[in-house]
Amino acid sequence: MADTITLQGIIRDFSPNERPDLLPSQQGPTNHPDFEADFDSGVPVEQGIVGLELDNSTHKPIYVGGTDPGVNPKSTHGAAAFAQWYANDHPHQKPFSITLKKIHTNPDIYSYDNQAFFPIDNELLGNEGNAHNYHFTYELATEFTYQGGEEFTFTGDDDLWVFIDNKLVIDLGGIHTQATKTLKLKDLPSLKVGITYSLRLFFAERHTTESHFRIDTTIVLTQPVATIVASDPNAKELGLDTGEFTISLDKPALTDLTIKYGVTGTATEGVDYQPIRNSVLMPKGQTSAKILVTPIADQLTEGSETVIATLIGGSGYQTGTPSSATVTIEDNPPAPPVAVIVATDPQASEVGLDPGQFTIMLNKPAPTTLMIGYSVSGTATEGADYQPIGRSVQIPQGQSSAIIPVKPIADDLAEVSETVIATLVAGADYRLGASITATVTIADNPPVPIATLFASDPIATKPEQGKAPTDLGEFTINLDKPAPRRLVMSFSVAGSAKENVDCQPMPRSATFEVGQTQAKIPVVPMAAQSLGLAKPDVIATLLPLDGCQLGSPITGTVVIKLPDGFPVIGPR
């Protein structure tokens, strides 16, 4: 067998009927009439203060007021005052353990002996002007499995009551000097070997003299060991997802047990989660009890917060390991940003490849990098009328907008204006706002005119010396439709004619103003020389131009002839 037995109980502190540190006018209503009360010093023990059985629901002694008519005055003052002695909700209490040491073997005898039993000196209510804290009660709930023949002896003062299986077996009530009572369990015919029974001890120290407390027993007293874990350590404000603590006993509770615990942590009870009290009832025969942590949702950005439950010692059980557990409440995630799309430049054009632009905007900076998705439709064809624009855009953390350029592709097709429509699609990290569709219109390149060049007057005649030219040659450039804009048509000049000899210098371009369809280029011959070619020619050829298509013909020839009768080199 073990060399020691440790048992945990509850001490409750009281103010005496009259405090020696206060004047009569200062005595208050919280002073308890049963402590430091008048008593009959001629009676060694005041029996019959409590009934023969414990209350079935509270497992506390039932006050009956004393059965000995010879006791005068009685040291107690009624059921209401007595009910405070061992009240679970007493405001001044703390757990206190005693350890019984084995002092004899064969049989094993366990003993706890304290001849100055003042366990709460300067604690709770304090000594209140006395050398010790003399006014307290002690409740101890234990159990044992009956082996046959065990004994239990108590020696001490003041009140002491022991109940086995809820029945009174030792009655040392009243304010008295040190008294002793031995109980032989074989004298209790209701006990059966091998059966587990409860043993509850109720003690009171009520007078400013000595305080003795001694137990000697061959009973192997035990208490269930309580532990606590977070059986569901994660709670969430989102959806009010609960967390859970589980308190467990290492063996079934012999009677209903109230297991106490304290609650701390960064979360605030009643604000971040529903109140969870400070104790839980462990029903008789059970080994576990649950404590739910129910979050309270709010709109505050707080981050995760903790609820820490720590077991507190009580009567009828001991605290084991682990004695503390944590449930974390995950904060309600902030509302995701709201995304909208607008056409911040709704007009694009093939002319000059002028781009349009969509802008996706958030109502607040992105909490993380977001990918915003969108679909694309419209009458314009992606990849033919405009460069591909993807189907999503990234908005970096801390930013609140992103642009999507629409870059036209120029072609020579005659088309009406065409549209590009972008529509936002839903995503997990953002919500859609009111404006989820926008349109960019691509204006078509205006129809491209077709240019031709020919010799509209293919013969020019040189004048005689000293005369002005009268027979000019001519090239004509035609457009099949009016010029959509100012066009400068360039052409090359070649041939056997020499400028400044056979003809005046030729231009190299012709200008078409908007709406114009024709331009003429004269070939002005120069006076005949004494010697020269009979028929020099000028050849003009159109050159390519953006915004204009070359047709056929694009080349023309003007021949410059000599005046009749003029000598020539070569055939006339």
- Does residue 21 surpass a pLDDT of 70? no
- Nearest Cα residue to 329 out of 258, 243, 404: 243
- On the question of pLDDT at 413 being above 80, the answer is no
- Which residue in 519, 539, 508 sits closest to 451, CA to CA? 519
- Distance, CA of 320 to CA of 257 (rounded, Å): 16
Q: Are 331 and 240 in contact (CB under 8 A)?
A: no
137: helix, strand or coil: strand
Q: For domain 225-330, give its CATH number from 2.60.40.2030, 3.40.50.620, 2.40.320.10, 2.60.120.560.
A: 2.60.40.2030
CA 430 to chain centre: 15
Cα-flanking dihedrals φ and ψ of residue 295, to 5°? -65, 155
If pLDDT is split at 50, 70 and 90, which confidence band does 315 have?
A: confident
Q: Which of 200, 258, 240 is nearest to 60 (CA)?
A: 200
Return the H-helix or E-strand segment holding 82.
Answer: helix 79-83
Question: Is residue 498 within 8 Å of 529, Cβ to Cβ?
Answer: no
Backbone angles phi and psi of 25, in degrees to 5: -70, -15
Predicted local confidence at residue 448, as pLDDT: 81
CA angle at 274 for the pair 269 and 277, rounded to the nearest 5° = 75
Over residues 416-435, mean pLDDT: 94
Q: Name the amino acid, one letter, at 478.
A: N
Radius of gyration, CA atoms only, the chain: 56
Q: pLDDT tens across 528-548, in order?
A: 775 556 789 999 999 999 878
CA distance 418 to 441: 6
Categorize the per-residue pLDDT at 214 as very low, low, confident or very high, splitting at 50, 70 and 90: very high
pLDDT at 22 exceeding the cut of 80: no
Residue spans of the domains in the chain: they are 4-217, 225-330, 338-443, 450-561
Q: Are 355 and 348 in contact (CB under 8 A)?
A: yes
Q: How far apart are CA 457 and CA 537, in angstroms?
A: 12
Say how far apart CA 192 and CA 359 lie, in whole Å.
87
pLDDT at position 30 is 65
Strands 196-205 and 212-217: unpaired
Residue 531, pLDDT score: 56
Q: What span, in angstroms and rounded, lies between the C-alpha atoms of 477 and 500?
A: 24
Q: How far apart are CA 430 and CA 436, in angstroms?
A: 13
Q: Is the pLDDT of residue 20 over 60?
A: no
Q: Averaged over 478-487, what is the pLDDT?
A: 92
Residues of the chain above pLDDT 90, percent: 79
The CATH H-level (homologous superfamily) assignment of domain 450-561 is CalX-beta domain (2.60.40.2030)
Q: Which of 21-35, 205-219, 323-337, 500-514 has the lowest mean pLDDT?
A: 21-35
pLDDT-wise least confident of 117-121, 317-321, 331-335? 331-335
Q: Which residues contact 518 (CB under 8 A, 6 or more apart)?
A: 476, 477, 478, 479
Residue type, 418: E
CA distance 304 to 233: 12
- What b/e sequence results for 511-541 when a residue is b if at least 16 CB atoms lie within 10 Å of its CB, and e otherwise? ebeeeeeebebbbebbebeeebbebbbbbbb
pLDDT band at 569 (very low <50, low <70, confident <90, very high): low
pLDDT of residue 314: 87
| Average pLDDT for the chain | 91
Residue 182 pLDDT more than 90?
Answer: yes
Cis peptide before 553 (omega within 30 of 0): yes
How far is Cα 197 from Cα 180, in angstroms, rounded to an integer?
Answer: 23
Q: Are 400 and 340 in contact (CB under 8 A)?
A: no
Span 293-298, average pLDDT: 91
Indicate the CATH number for domain 338-443.
Answer: 2.60.40.2030
- On whether the CB atoms of residues 512 and 519 are closer than 8 A, the answer is yes
180's enclosing H/E stretch is strand 179-184
Q: Are the folds of 225-330 and 338-443 the same?
A: yes
Which residues lie across from 246 on neighbouring strands?
229, 290
The model's pLDDT over 339-391, given as tens digits with 9 standing for 90+, comes to 999 999 999 998 889 999 999 999 999 999 999 999 999 999 999 999 999 99
Is 490:514 a contact under the CB 8 Å cutoff?
A: no
Please report which helix (H) or strand (E) contains residue 213, including its range. strand 212-217
**How close are the terminal C-alpha atoms of the chain, in Å?**
148
Q: In the sheet that 318-319 helps form, which strands lie side by side, from edge to edge?
A: 288-293, 243-249, 225-232, 318-319
Whether 518 contacts 456, CB under 8 Å:
no
Q: Per-residue b/e over 314-339, b at no fewer than 16 CB within 10 Å?
A: bbbbbbeeebbbbbbbbbbeeebbeb
Strand order in the sheet with 537-542: 459-461, 555-561, 537-542, 487-494, 509-512
> What does the DSSP assignment read for 288-333?
EEEEEE-B---S-----EEEEEEEE-BTTBEE-S--EEEEEEEPPP
How much is the pTM? Answer: 0.60
Side-chain half-sphere CA neighbours of 144 within 13 A: 23
